Chains A and B, each alone.
Chain A
Amino acid sequence: METLAALAHGFAVALTPMNLLWSALGVTVGTAIGVLPGIGPALTVALLLPITYDLDPTAAFIMFGGIYYGAMYGGSTTAILLNTPGESGSIVTAIDGHEMARQGRGAQALAIAAIGSFVAGTIATLALTFVAPALVKLALLFGPAEYFALMVLALTTVTAVLGDSLVRGLASLFFGLALGLVGIDLQTGQARFTLGIPELLDGIDTVVVAVGLFAIGETLYNAARFRFETEEIYALEGSIWMSREDWARSWKPWLRGTLLGFPIGALPAGGSEIPTFLSYLVEKRLAKKPEEFGKGAIEAVAGPEAANNASVAGTLAPLLSLGLPTSATAAIMLAAFQQYGLQPGPLLFDSNPELVWGMIASLYIGNLLLLILNLPMAGVWVKLLAIPRPWLYGGILVFATLGAYTLNNNVVDLVILWLIGVLGFAMRVLDVPIAPCVVGLILGPLAEQQFRRALAISQGDPSVFLTHPLSLTLLIVAALLVAGPVILRRRARRAEREAAAA
């Protein structure tokens, strides 16, 4: 009941004309960047940080939430019509969605994706409404040792689960952690790793790193691959209305996708890729005609699209209630909280209820707006795909440098942006995932703080992390996540060798 009252208050905040406008702006921008290849929600929120500095935090977060939701809707359009996933969460959608477009059923595929996103988004936002306050109660039991253990768990899951090479994920994570070390040590005032450059005393800005990796690195990579790749855009064909059979085949995958997406997004497991892959596999297993998969199966669009939208709401639960980002976009949103001097967690629910609940309420509204934006207006978004690539990437670079420069009006930021961009390019070429680096950069300094606080309380005794039951459990889970796959792979390889020898 308490929660419902809080939510009602949130709606009162979200329904003021100005906040409605911010929500509408957020979902529109979100859909646009979701449709455009080369830019995603993490980059967009990062670029908006300097501009929203003077904005009321509630308005800013209503907009950011809209962008995050909108990007998942828009990503499916690109996946279906262009076969280039606009977002990493739409990789799976591209498989059968693009096949549907090839068969002239593109409009139907878009409708299935949009309605599925709406169903999943609404259910998952409802789940967020009730899960977030419950997580807050849990967070009250946490001391520094538990927070540190939780952050270690989040860092390892983001790393272990993304990409297919654990070592590469760890390399990316530790690179991010190393970047996070730069600057003045908050507890002692000691300057660390600044190389004598005064601009580095404040640390390397999250915005510069995120924009460098996501905009500059991506653009360099796309420039390098542009000559070798061909794009075929399919026109929006077919009826937008779903037949009775389409509905019958879609509703169960939508619900199952939601069921997978929300908890996996919320349990620190790294964003929207995993639930979409799982949803695809589940649907294939359950389908009456599994042979259709890969050839334009409706279930293969409906399930993953529901899963990626639900996972976004799931990601917001630990972000708001524990201050724990589980995806790159959530990590940038945490940086946004820091910019406003706010610390997500139990305190935020007490001190800024209008922000937290206003944002959650705005997600219900944004979701409805997105259905309207994406169903009847799908054709408008498709036009964005026609922007010639030279101008699209030229524009991305102009706005990326604009965002980095205006942080401090300093060319040094542009130099760092370029360096990080070149590193991001190298990471893309060498197949090193980028998200662990961003999450590491933001969580690293927070983890160090909790780590030292815990040790200060225990007077330097490092066993605190192991004697607190909650902390111990979290650390064991983290260790299993790193060691488990390695051991399993070893065992599989040994079995293979034995089989070969026999």
Chain B
Amino acid sequence: MTQAFDRHILFLPQTNGDAYTLGPLQSGPPCCVPEPLIRVKDLSVHYGDHPALEHVTLDIYKGCITALIGPSGCGKTSFLCALNRLTDLISGCRVEGGIRIGIQDVLDPRLDVPALRREVGMIFQKPNPFSLSIRRNIEMPLKEHGMRKRAELDETVERVLIDVGLWAEVKDRLDRSALALSGGQQQRLCIARALALEPAVLLMDEPCSALDPLSSGVVEDLIGRLRGRYTVVIVTHNLAQARRIANYAAFFWLHERVGTLIEFGQCRQIFEAPAHGLTAAYVNGAKG
């Protein structure tokens, strides 16, 4: 018996009346209701015998952008993958602890995982559009999840492409291969593809690191505009980027070769007045 995923808990009222745009870019401090959406308690991720992440407890707030910062190898990506159960796909991976999204226990073995992954979308470091046309890249997941009417599909494709700022660039070549797009365009297409499923949460694993600076800036802008309407968790090595777009920041570090959470709080506080010495050293570039 599978537990259906309750969408209503996650549904967020749109802060802007306009259905087609995400609104103007808002910078800096919190603009959203500081209500925790995802509660992580004592999370540990093991690959075989080796623990990658241990005893992580933090809350992800609704509608806000939370940045996960810290050096390579401290489990930030593992943390992200646990949130949408992508860890299920890695052989030998074991996740312990508790993750609740709304009232749903993510780690419940009876959970309908495909429904979870529809609610919690993921963007990868390397853009991975399928070897299909631009239109089919977005339509195919929609069709698989039950959307059938042509009018609805067309409308969704147009809407998400406008949202990510690609519409003007690709509206005349929707049926050409997605692989012909540039890196930045491909990444935006991947975001559009994820947005088409109307998730509540977007997980992003270093979405700009494989892009050139110009494309990186465009994608970063887009992520900033997602604030308020989506809950975003973004792993980034770029501290300046985190500072620019995040509301909250979680600092991870390696302790005896196991990743742990050192400090978590509002972005401004982490960067300007960190409580932990290690955090201060890292954000000031002295370590890591």
Check if A and B associate. Answer: no
Interface residues of A (CB under 8 A from B): none
